[in-house]
Structure 1
Amino acid sequence: MKLTDKILAYSSPHPFYTFEFFPPRTDQGFENLLPRIVRMSNLNPLAVSVTWGAGGNTKDTSLNLAELTQSEYRQDTILHLTCTNMEKGKVDEALRVAKECGIQNILALRGDPPRGKEEWIAIDPRFQHALDLVTYIRSHPDFSSYFCIGVAAYPEGHPDHLVDEETELSLLKEKVDAGADFIITQLFYDEDQFISWFRKVREKGITLPIIPGLMPIQTYQSFVRLTKLTGSKVPAQVMSDVDAIKHNDQLVKNYGVELAVKMIRRITTETDVSGVHFCTLNLEKSVQRVLESLRWIGYSPQIVPNKLIEEPTTENLPSGTITPVSAANVATLGLYNMPPTETEVGSGELNKADSWDDFPNGRWGDSKSPAYGVQGPWGNNDAINQVTISQWGNPQSLDDLTALFLKYLHSDIDTTPFSSDPILDESKLILPHLRKLTERGWWTVGSQPAVDGIDSSDPVVGWGPRNGYVFQKSFVEFFCTEEDVNMIEKKVAEKGDGWVHYYAANSKGDCRTNVPDDGRNAVTWGVFSGQELIQTTIIERQSFLAWKEEAFSIWLDWASFYRPDSLERKLLESVHNERFLVNIIHHDFKVEEALWTFIFDA
């Protein structure tokens, strides 16, 4: 059914809501997203949307997921469709598949630039803007009357458009005049700006349904990175509030729920907005808590044993109008009382399907999680641009690359192609070892120190709620030559004594490891009051190979910024073609220097 028809027919004492999902990066994540969608469908969204990956790189999985949500789960689905890397034949194919699946709603977008490109360039001049997609669909005899078309709007301005607000409103009006039926906005956290923008849109004569895009804050790092990526402007008070509690993941999640509730109440009171769009990041708990706090869904006084949430205290909480959600209130509202599905995975295991993403702070997370792969390991999808290229200079030799990675470790530069953030305080605990490896020509791109039961509130390595202890196995990841890999394999076999596991892979698909096929190395976990053991970072074959593909693509992305015949490009392409990505884990977390003693032992 068309979304606009559903909006017109909607009759409820509260506004409607829609959920947004993205295709996970792994097959297991995809399979496990499906029961999550079933659970979230029980919350009765008006529709769900499925994103289209940057550059169309998730075309097949996006269409597959959209078909399942529409046909199998009977959820009216909004399929995102972008212009990036799309030509007429591909656009027609996507629209025909959508129509065959019974999908009647399309969100027409320009899309992000393909990775490695600073500017967006159309491969088909007929599809350069979302306006072109809207115009094309409305002019096509097979699609014109069938599809309900949505377009995006940017209350704070498009991150790639340096135009004034009036021009931005005029561009939106063009899309509306071309045949758009509804509007979904980019996510935002400044409701004052949204309300002001909303009124200007209405003054412009645009009367279509406007659905604000909201994303409850999940973790401090994802909040900072995603707002940076989308160009969202965060009010100073919100940033101050989140900064004050950034070392307590539970309080951050609680704050995110209450902030979303506060924003929704004000927006739906002061405008004629009749619904909201949740960017779920394939996570379920925070969205459910928001809806229950608003009393938009059914709730029960039943309390489920062994599913208690830490009772937030006012200690170290920022001042302001937002009060943390209490465990008692959450239980009363019925959190965790969603009926289980027969297809739910992991029941009875430590990593249950409904608790995978409580504290997704790990670099890998769990590749079985539906939320795995929401962004690059350190949010690096936006790491390479002309600004960062200027920091990195013009590497023309292996020594130049070694010098660049050392500059990052010395904090002389704030980024590398593999990290868009300055070096973490946690990494500084093992900085001498990382420098020594890098000086050897093993360019480190990931690591963590061994941690044996440190208080979960520790400002450097702590995570999760208070009243807990966190643990870490030490690992390090780097690029090196095949000769180095051969040496590492021999050393692990002769001196590892069962304590050391490794993965090594190149861009050609050669993968070497001493980890069993079904092996899963939990390298970060925590023990908290009233909760089961929580594992937040797991390294296993599928997650390593998924990251390996992205890691090697970064070398090519970087190379694409230099001329085809340049020394810089030849160097970076040779690294892509010849080097291995290696990950080494030492399982003795009780000995801080165990990994480094093993590696540097003559």
Structure 2
Amino acid sequence: MKFTDKISQHSSKPFFSFEFFPPRTDQGFSNLLARIKGLSALEPLAISVTWGAGGTTKQRSVELAGIVQSQYGVDTVLHLTCTNMERGMVDDVLRAAKKLGIQNIFALRGGMYPPHGSDHWIPADPRFVHAADLVAYIRSIPEYADYFCIGVAGYPEGHTEAEPGDDQIGRLKAKVDAGADYVVTQLFYDVNNFFVWLKEVRRRGISVPIIPGVMPIQTYASFIRLNKLCGTRVPPYVSSDLETIRHDDQKVKDYGVHLAMSIIRRLTANGEVCGIHLCTFNLEKSVRRVLGGLGWTNDAPPQTNDQAHRHLPPDVLVSAHEVARAMSTTPSQEPDPFSVQSTATASTAHKLTPGWDDFPNGRFGDPTSPAYGAYDMWDCGINLNEGIAQWGNPKSTTDLTSFFLSYLNSAISTTPFSPEPLNVETSTILPHLIRLTSGGLWTVGSQPAVDAAPSSDGVFGWGPRGGYVFQKSFVEFFCDRRTVEWIKERVNTHGKGLVSFYAGDGQNDFFSNAEEGRNAVTWGVFPDQEIVQSTIIERDSFAAWMEEAFGIWYQWALFYPPDSAERELLEKASEKLWLVSIIHHDYKNPESLWDFLFEGEGLPLH
């Protein structure tokens, strides 16, 4: 059934819809199906399935949407991006969606976007440069024109790539004029600003349903990461509140539940908003707690502690009691996918036990989790102008070495592989990383060894106070095949059974000496609970990250003109390099990994 038809028939309390992304592993995908089945019982008006840039999740997205539509009886909205898609892929997806009975498409531009006045980015299909082009294309095909209900994205706080003076509401109107039936907004926290934007949208003649997107905060690191990615403006009181609890994931999660409830109550109070779109992060508990607290489901409302509460400002506050800031100290259960950034470490504010339902689970978490895989909000990313300004114009491997060294030396704050500055604990191993990178082994992930640091430690600590945290040292880098062969031999002759490695290239060649199963490299011991494993590196997770990493090289290449030295260099890197992850299991010796790599006839550095 078309989503807008369901909206028109929904006349009771405000409706809600859910959004999920396809996990990167088969086990995660299978386990997500069980989660979606459970959440479907809450009777969402629809379930959205996201789409990776350039069709990177095409197969899994279509498969997941088809299962939700056919087996769970929930109307599904399949996201679809059009830029950097191979010619004919859009037609293939539309054909498959109709065959599966899916009547709803969420049309996005996706992919790369050229700087103003530049022709560096060229679409794979010249028919698709903007989301409006995709909407118009669907409407132009007789068999799809009336079959699909089409949604598009709105940006109350502006798109991250917008230039000063851009008529962004005019862009939204172009999508609606092309045939879009409804709008879902990017996430936001400033409710007043949303209503100002909504008023202007209506004044400009856009009359289709506008559905606010709300994402309950799950962890501090993912909050920072997504806000930076989406350009979201964060009210000072939210930043201040979260800063005081940033190292306790459960308190951050509880805060996110209450903040989401307050925002939704305000949005739906006067009848201008008919429903809410909830971005779930493939997680369940926060969604259930938010909807239960609103009284929209039979789930119990979240508990609060009045002795510790603080008050939201009047423009957001609905009830001081409802948005109390008292947070429980229930142990966290899932790690944050954004806590390990390049040579930043893996030990910041995240935790894991075999349960799945509490926290985001990225490439360093449990690959069997339904939440496994990095999640990025749709149509957001690095502005090409900003990216090129910071990352420059590498034309040789020497330039790339200088580029990665610039990040290690904090001359630049991001790389395509690392959206955040270096973590503070990286300073304890920085000379080793500089030595590797100077020799042409470009580091993109690492952490130092830690033996029983207090969980309250300002550098290494995480989790509830009164515990102790541990880390095995590991390092990830890009290198050539010769280095991989050296590592294989070195592990055999000097590893002493204490070194595990994974290595793979963009052509699906793979080597490892590690046995199948979990390989926890960060864990914590806390009072009155089981040992918490927060960081896991194993075959499936490495394979998923490897695929993503080589895709990043290719996407970075698209920043530059065809036939340019920069594009040729980066495309060659995506085809010829190897990604290596090396773990040393002697966590009591902080130099164990580095001694293994450098002592005697050490790594063949350039």
TM-score, normalized by length of structure 1? 0.85
Mapped to 1, the partners of 2:392 and 2:181 lie a distance apart of 47
> How many correspondences in the alignment?
569
Aligned to 2:170: 170
Give the one of 576, 579, 583 matched to 1:585.
Answer: 583
Mapped to 2, the partners of 1:445 and 1:98 lie a distance apart of 38
Q: 1:553 to 1:181 in 2, by over 3 A?
A: closer
Aligned Cα root-mean-square deviation (Å): 3.4
CA contact (8 A) 2:363 2:544 kept: no
Between 1:362-371 and 1:112-121, the stretch displaced more is 112-121
2:533 is aligned with 1:535:
yes
CA contact (8 A) 2:282 2:370 kept: yes
SS in 2 for 1:520: coil
Q: 1:539 to 1:327 in 2, by over 3 A?
A: same
Mapped to 1, the partners of 2:120 and 2:482 lie a distance apart of 38
Aligned to 1:206: 206
Between 1:84-93 and 1:142-151, the stretch displaced more is 84-93
In the TM superposition, what whole-angstrom CA distance separates every residue of 1:391-450 from its partner, at most 9, and x where no partner exists?
444445544433333332222222233222221102112212222323333222110112
C-alpha displacement of 1:261: 1.0
SS in 2 for 1:143: helix
Amino acid at match of 2:150: I
Aligned to 1:226: 226
Mapped to 2, the partners of 1:353 and 1:366 lie a distance apart of 10
SS in 2 for 1:488: helix
SS in 2 for 1:546: helix
Q: 1:48 to 1:569 in 2, by over 3 A?
A: closer
Mapped to 1, the partners of 2:428 and 2:150 lie a distance apart of 52
CA contact (8 A) 2:363 2:372 kept: no
1:18-37 matches, cutoff 5 A: 18-37=17-36
Aligned to 1:427: 426
CA contact (8 A) 1:241 1:318 kept: no
Q: 1:151 to 1:507 in 2, by over 3 A?
A: closer
Aligned to 2:347: none
Aligned to 1:339: none
Mapped to 2, the partners of 1:419 and 1:262 lie a distance apart of 33
C-alpha displacement of 1:76: 0.9
1:33-112 matches, cutoff 5 A: 33-86=32-85, 89-112=88-111
C-alpha displacement of 1:268: 0.7
Q: 1:204 to 1:569 in 2, by over 3 A?
A: closer
1:253-402 matches, cutoff 5 A: 253-299=253-299, 314=308, 322-324=323-325, 326-327=327-328, 351-355=353-357, 357-358=358-359, 360=361, 364-375=364-375, 382=381, 385-402=384-401
CA contact (8 A) 2:81 2:110 kept: yes
CA contact (8 A) 2:304 2:326 kept: no
1:480-499 matches, cutoff 5 A: 480-499=479-498
Mapped to 2, the partners of 1:129 and 1:235 lie a distance apart of 31
For structure 2, the residue ranges without an aligned partner over 5 or more in a row are 318-322, 331-351, 601-606
C-alpha displacement of 1:530: 4.7
C-alpha displacement of 1:511: 1.3
Amino acid at match of 1:218: Q
CA contact (8 A) 1:50 1:80 kept: yes
Amino acid at match of 1:354: W
Mapped to 1, the partners of 2:296 and 2:536 lie a distance apart of 36
In the TM superposition, what whole-angstrom CA distance separates every residue of 1:74-108 from its partner, at most 9, and x where no partner exists?
11111122222457843333223222222122222
Mapped to 2, the partners of 1:22 and 1:2 lie a distance apart of 21
Mapped to 2, the partners of 1:132 and 1:257 lie a distance apart of 37
CA contact (8 A) 2:121 2:559 kept: no
Amino acid at match of 1:136: Y
Aligned to 1:191: 191
Q: 1:89 to 1:444 in 2, by over 3 A?
A: closer
Amino acid at match of 1:551: A
Aligned to 1:244: 244
SS in 1 for 2:47: strand
Mapped to 1, the partners of 2:33 and 2:460 lie a distance apart of 33
Amino acid at match of 1:358: F
C-alpha displacement of 1:146: 2.4
C-alpha displacement of 1:495: 2.4
CA contact (8 A) 2:292 2:300 kept: no
Aligned to 1:340: none
CA contact (8 A) 1:249 1:359 kept: no
Mapped to 2, the partners of 1:570 and 1:173 lie a distance apart of 38
C-alpha displacement of 1:600: 2.4
CA contact (8 A) 2:52 2:58 kept: yes
Amino acid at match of 2:456: S
Aligned to 1:148: 149
Aligned to 1:477: 476
For structure 1, the residue ranges without an aligned partner over 5 or more in a row are 304-308, 331-349
Q: 1:112 to 1:5 in 2, by over 3 A?
A: same
SS in 1 for 2:106: strand
CA contact (8 A) 1:282 1:371 kept: yes
C-alpha displacement of 1:264: 0.6
In the TM superposition, what whole-angstrom CA distance separates every residue of 1:533-583 from its partner, at most 9, and x where no partner exists?
332221111211222222233334444445666655555455444432211
Aligned to 2:603: none
Mapped to 1, the partners of 2:397 and 2:146 lie a distance apart of 58
CA contact (8 A) 1:383 1:419 kept: no
Amino acid at match of 1:20: E
CA contact (8 A) 2:121 2:560 kept: no
CA contact (8 A) 2:441 2:479 kept: yes
Q: 1:39 to 1:58 in 2, by over 3 A?
A: same
Aligned to 1:181: 181
SS in 1 for 2:524: strand
In the TM superposition, what whole-angstrom CA distance separates every residue of 1:20-48 from its partner, at most 9, and x where no partner exists?
11122222221121111112112221110
Aligned to 2:551: 553
Q: 1:512 to 1:239 in 2, by over 3 A?
A: same
2:132 is aligned with 1:138:
no
TM-score, normalized by length of structure 2? 0.84
CA contact (8 A) 2:502 2:513 kept: yes
Amino acid at match of 2:519: N
C-alpha displacement of 1:228: 2.0
SS in 2 for 1:151: strand
CA contact (8 A) 1:55 1:114 kept: no
C-alpha displacement of 1:271: 4.5
In the TM superposition, what whole-angstrom CA distance separates every residue of 1:184-238 from its partner, at most 9, and x where no partner exists?
1111121111011122223334333221001111122222221222222222332
C-alpha displacement of 1:272: 1.6
SS in 1 for 2:419: coil
C-alpha displacement of 1:3: 1.8
Amino acid at match of 2:544: A
Aligned to 1:520: 518
In the TM superposition, what whole-angstrom CA distance separates every residue of 1:324-366 from its partner, at most 9, and x where no partner exists?
36549x9xxxxxxxxxxxxxxxxxxx843534x5364x65222
Q: 1:411 to 1:168 in 2, by over 3 A?
A: closer
